[in-house]
Amino acid sequence: MPRIIRFAIAGVVATCTHLSVAWLVFNRLIADSAIANLAGFVLANVVSFLLQTLWSFSSRPTFSNFSRFSVVSSAGFGISALVPLLVGRQHLWAPTLIVVCCIPVCSYIAHARWTYRTEG
């Protein structure tokens, strides 16, 4: 299976993890969407890191690639928060489509060229 397909599947699994954890936290622990989504984001990132590292990029989990993965993930999160400010917060679909289309592509390129680059 091509790496880009594995990357996409791992991304869907991580997204489902985020949604499931956020739902459980919000409905079973504390009805606060910020806390629920933070918990979902953190756990989804752990799942994503492990799947991307072990399956998509056939690499070993190391502190170095975890650190780089975290930078790419945090940048994606930051861009996701900034896009609505730039496009307009009163619009839902334009910023959402930009984020959904651009962040995965940029993340894949960053991971392939930086996070999991092979020295040599």
Q: Which pLDDT tens digit goes with each residue over 5-60? A: 999 999 999 999 999 999 999 999 999 998 999 999 999 999 999 999 999 999 99
Rounded to whole angstroms, the Cα distance separating 66 from 59 reads: 11
Q: What pLDDT was estimated at residue 94?
A: 87
Q: Tell me, what's the pLDDT at 46?
A: 96
SS (H, E, C) 36-101: HHHHHHHHHHHHHHHHHHHHHCCCCCCHHHHHHHHHHHHHHHHHHHHHHHHHCCCCCHHHHHHHHH
Does an H or E element contain 15, and which?
helix 3-24
Give the pTM: 0.88
**Which one, of 56, 33, 52, lies nearest residue 44 by Cα?**
52
pLDDT computed for residue 119 by the predictor = 59
CA atoms within 13 A on the CB side of 35: 9
Question: For residue range 86-111, what is the model confidence (pLDDT) as tens digits?
Answer: 988 888 888 889 899 999 999 999 99
Vertex 65: Cα angle to 63 and 68 (nearest 5): 105
